[in-house]
């Protein structure tokens, strides 16, 4: 397992969690670009995990770290603390999981 793959996985989780947090914290600002970003991040994460199975064991360690970064970034971008800060691993990784109003 390379450090680059681990960093890429963490980066995709940060982006995914950031947009999920913003989706629930700013329903008035929801956009197709957030939906696309969430879908793209899920695809990239799945690809990395399929290509590097050794990364799977790190997911439970990476998600909390990524969550902290995403929360901080969301607060900076939104200008207020997010009211949704704890997406589950299943919600983040389940390809069939849909956000509310995600058609």
State the Cα–Cα distance between residues 44 and 46, nearest whole angstrom.
Answer: 5
CA distances from 16 to 1, 12, 50, 57, 93 (A): 22, 6, 18, 19, 10
94 vs 28, which has greater pLDDT? 28
Q: What is the mean predicted confidence (pLDDT) over 80-97?
A: 82
99 vs 37, which has greater pLDDT? 37
Q: Is the pLDDT of residue 100 over 80?
A: no
**What is residue 62's three-state secondary structure?**
helix
pLDDT on residue 1: 56
C-beta neighbour count of 43 within 10 angstroms: 12
């Amino acid at each position: 397992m390379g450090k680059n793959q681990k960093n890429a996985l963490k980066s995709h989780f940060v982006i995914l969690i950031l947009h999920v947090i913003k989706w629930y914290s700013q329903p008035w600002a929801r956009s197709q670009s957030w939906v696309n970003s969430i879908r793209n991040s899920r695809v990239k994460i799945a690809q990395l995990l399929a290509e590097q199975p050794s990364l799977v064991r790190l997911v439970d360690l990476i998600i909390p770290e990524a969550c902290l970064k995403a929360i901080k970034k969301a607060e900076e971008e939104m200008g207020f603390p997010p009211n949704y800060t704890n997406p589950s691993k299943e919600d983040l990784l389940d390809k069939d999981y849909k956000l509310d109003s995600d058609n």
